[in-house]
Amino acid sequence: MMKRWLTVLSASLLFLLGGCSYLNTASVTLDYVKEATTYVTTLDHFAAEIPPLIQQVIDNQPAADELRAKLQQMKNDIQSFNTLEVPETVNAFHQEIIVQNNLLVAEIDLYLNDINDGKLNPSTLEKTDLLQPVQEITSIIKQIQKLGAQVNETLGA
């Protein structure tokens, strides 16, 4: 009888601990989804603001300074996002985002170098793929958001 009771108690504890682990993982995943959603909003604003600003930069020092500041801020946002604590459930997605973020940083650095050298012109936007990584990241984050919706649905069920 005692052995049976211990078996039931042990099984119950394992189930409870497993459930807590699942809930913790789900919570961390949902937190990451929120961060990713905020990040994609930042990227969308960046993608919308930069092309018109580049058009204004030619012979316009205030616009060049504003562009430099926005590019540097985006680099800072990228670095912050890359260092987020990532739950195992979305680690593969996060690694894909880091690859695209690194491409975006490389493009931003090209722009910053051109601005600093006084060589930036509107054709630079046509020659580079500044916004391509933004589109890729947006696509990845949409997949993460779908995962978050599934986690939310599972927790609600």
Given this model, what pLDDT does residue 4 score? 41
Predicted model pTM: 0.75
Instruction: Output the pLDDT for position 1.
Output: 41
CA distance 109 to 111: 5
Query: Residue 51 and residue 100: Cα distance in Å, rounded?
Result: 19
**pLDDT at residue 102 is higher than 90:** yes
**What pLDDT digit, counting tens, does each position of 19-28 carry?**
445 556 778 8
CA gap 94, 92 in Å, rounded: 5
Q: What mean pLDDT do residues 29-34 have? A: 88
User: CA separation (Å) from 119 to 32, 63, 100?
Assistant: 39, 14, 26
- Write out the residue range of the structural domain in which residue 143 sits: 2-156
Q: What is the pLDDT of residues 55-74, one digit of tens each?
A: 787 667 788 889 999 999 99
- State the pLDDT at residue 106: 93
Span 100-123, mean pLDDT?
85
pLDDT class for 80, splitting at 50, 70, 90? Answer: very high
120, pLDDT greater than 80 = no
CATH of the domain at 26: 1.20.120.1730
> To the nearest whole percent, how much of the chain has pLDDT over 70?
78
Question: Is residue 65 helix, strand or coil?
Answer: helix
Work out how many domains the chain is built from and give that number. 1
